[in-house]
Amino acid sequence: MTDIKKKSGGQDDSPAAPSPYSLVGIRQFSQEVAAEFKKIVWPDRKVTMGLSGFVILLTVVLSIYLGTVDFVLGKLVSLVLQQ
C-alpha cells in the first residue's frame, strides 16, 4: 500500500486567520464580542424583579423544608442512640 498525498505547493487557499495573541486578533475578538452584546435582548425591570422574587421565595421555602427535615432526622437519631 502506498500513501498518496496531495501536494499544494506550500500555499493554503484560505485566508490566514490572525493569531489570537496578536494585537489584530485581540482587536477582532473585542469587536466580535461587542457585536454579540448588541444582539442581546435584556429583560425589563419588572420581569427581572419578578424572577428575583421567585428565586428568593423558593430559597426560603427550600431552606425551611431542609431545616425541618434535618431537625426531625436529628431528633430521631438521638432517640435511637439513647436507647
Cell of 3: 500513501
Evaluate whether residue 60 is within a structural domain. yes
How does residue 25 score in pLDDT terms, banded at 50, 70 and 90? confident
Please give the full DSSP string across 35-65, using - where no structure is assigned.
HHHHH-----HHHHHHHHHHHHHHHHHHHHH
pLDDT at 48: 96
In angstroms, the CA 26 to CA 32 distance is 10
How does residue 1 score in pLDDT terms, banded at 50, 70 and 90? low
Evaluate whether residue 17 is within a structural domain. no
Provide the terminal-to-terminal Cα distance of the chain, rounded to the nearest Å.
Answer: 80
7: helix, coil or strand?
coil
In angstroms, the CA 48 to CA 54 distance is 10
Arithmetic mean of pLDDT, 10-32: 73
Q: What is the pLDDT of residues 61-79, one digit of tens each?
A: 999 999 999 999 999 999 9
The pTM of the full predicted model, rounded to 2 decimals, is 0.53
Evaluate whether residue 51 is within a structural domain. yes
How does residue 43 score in pLDDT terms, banded at 50, 70 and 90? very high
Count of domains for the chain: 1
- Domain of residue 48 covers 42-83
Arithmetic mean of pLDDT, 28-34: 93
